[in-house]
Structures are given as structure tokens and as C-alpha cells.
Amino acid sequence: MKFRPFFSGYGMALSAFVFATNSLAQDIRTTPLTFEEIGQYKVINDKIVGSEMLDLEVDVDESQVISVDLSSSNTGTYFNVSAIDSEEALFVGASEGPVADVTAPKTGRYVVRTYLVRSAARRGEETSFSIGIGINQPEFADSLAGGPDFWQVSGVGEGVTLNLRNGPSTRYSIIGKLRDGDSLENQGCRLTGSDRWCSVRVNSFGSTGWVAGQFLIESSKPMTPASLGNSPTGNGRPFDATSTVSCSTRPEKAQSECVAGVVRSGLGNAGVWIALEDGDELQILFENGVPVATSPGSEFEFDEIADVYVVNIGPARFEIPKAFIFGG
């Protein structure tokens, strides 16, 4: 599994937009960076305002990997990577995300440009940011370009947790805690300096983030939740859990049990599919622990009674345990 930045493939289409930002530039500060050895990692903390830009220049040999990651105080902060003599971006942060591993197509000087998106620049907004840059070899002994589909947390220790972070470095915020034995879906690994970091999806509650690779071992695919009979089909992604929920589709019908499946995408964020007796299925979307929509787009009301969401859609009533949404 090769690591690909989010929304990979849009860089070519947006290269014209990216370099159009040059017309806004009143101040482009340029700082050359020197790397004494392969695998060295440098962190630059800086600030820009409005149309200011920071260009970090690095000399790279053909096929070496330019590894960059960004954290900032303003969500409109991005970086691009390009050869210094080219107007075509090799990586466009506005479409591909805050983490990049770019293979240099030729030997030469490359520029990592940090900037505010045009609308934020025009408003004169400010951003403080921390950008990490490293130069690595294209192949690694532990096959970072490949890897298993699933990991298991191992070696953390009893009573100790592994931090799930929102970026591939200890300078990024902690967004979750993991324990030995937790199952993770591998979304690709990279080197931050000499340390391996892996992008993962936590199978128990669906959150995505980064963890230190030294605490991961290869694992088999988690067991698919057992079929409970008339099961929903969902959206094609395997359910994180299946169960039955108390349901009634008509006022004159007593509460019974409907089979449901859930796909989680972070604490309190989930899609629940419920198989109905006529063969159809209903979806209820939860965000931040609250039901926000149904499919097909029916009006609904909900209440929270103890640890259960009671969702009323017309004459139908569904009782969904909170544990089904949040996992554990």
C-alpha cells in the first residue's frame, strides 16, 4: 500500500490556480535549507500575513523523496511543492492535504511554498504555522511503499496508551488514545526524519489519524460482524458493527427488532443503516453525536432517553443505543 496524500490526482488540474497566487504576492521570503544527511528532518516555525509567502528551497537528487507536513493556526494555510524552474506544481496542498511525500523527477532545486488561500489573503488574515521538511531515499528497508492492509497496536504496555495524532509528528495534537490489541486499517506510512509514522483508521470507532509506527505489527483483517438475518447492505464499506435495534414502522405495530449496521467515521460521526421488513433500508446520519439527516430525506424528530437515541420518522420509531454510534 503506497502512501498517497488525500485527494491525490488533482494537482495537475489546479496548477494554474496555484501559480495565479503569485499575482497577489507583495512579499515572498526565501530561505534555503541545507540537509547534511539523508533522513534529516527540520521544523520551521513562522508567520505570514495576507499575501505574504514563505519559500523554503532544498537541493534534491533525482528520485529522492521530499517529505513535508504542515500544522497551522489558520485553516486557509497550504503549501505547494514544485521544481524551482517549473510553473507546474508537483503537490498542491489546497487539494491534496497537509502531508506530502514527493519524489523528485530530476536533480535540482525545489521550493516548498507556504501561503494563505486567496480569499484569506485578500482579507489580510494571519497564520502562524509549523512546517516540517525532510529528504529521504525512495526505498526503505521496512518497505514503507508497501505494507499490510491492517495493523495491530503492540508493545505499548499494560495501562499505557498510544497517542493518535492529527499529523505525523509528536508536535501534532492528540485526538485519541489506543491500547495494545486495537485493530487499525493501514492508510499508508512515511518517514518523519528517522521515525516511521502511519496514517490509520481505528476500526472500533472510525477515527483517522497518525500513530508512531514502532508500536504497530502486521495484523489480519478484523472479523466481519456476523450476519443477523435480514441485514442492510450499507454503502459498500464493511460495517464496523451490526446489531438489532428496537423498531416499529407503523403505529399499530408493536416494537420489534430490526437489524442495523454502522460505519463510523470518528467519535459521534456515523452512518446507520436499518433493514426494514419490506426489504428496503433506512439510513440515519449522525454528526457529533446527533442525528442530522435520514435517507430518503424524511423529516424526523429525536430524543435522548438515557443511553438511547429515539428517532421518530413519521409513524416509524427507532431506538438506537449510543454505544452503537460511538463504539468503544
Strand partners, 243: 260
Would you state the pLDDT for residue 139? 55
In degrees, rounded to 5, the angle at the alpha carbon of residue 79 between the alpha carbons of residues 143 and 13 is 85
Would you state the pLDDT for residue 8? 37
Question: Under 8 Å CB-to-CB from 149, ≥6 apart: which residues?
Answer: 1, 185, 186, 221
Q: Tens of pLDDT along the chain (328 residues)?
A: 334 343 333 343 344 344 434 444 458 999 999 999 989 999 999 999 999 999 999 999 999 999 999 999 999 999 999 999 998 999 999 999 999 999 999 999 999 999 999 999 999 999 999 999 999 987 544 445 567 889 999 999 888 999 999 999 999 999 889 999 988 999 999 999 989 999 999 877 788 999 999 999 998 877 665 556 678 888 878 888 888 999 998 777 778 899 999 998 888 899 999 998 878 889 999 999 999 999 887 889 999 999 999 999 988 999 999 999 988 6
In degrees, rounded to 5, the angle at the alpha carbon of residue 184 between the alpha carbons of residues 182 and 190 is 125
Cell of 137: 531515499
Full-model pTM:
0.73
Sequential DSSP letters for 263-288: EE-STT-EEEEEE-TTS-EEEEEEET
Q: Greatest CA separation found in the chain?
A: 77
Q: Helix, strand or coil for residue 256?
A: strand
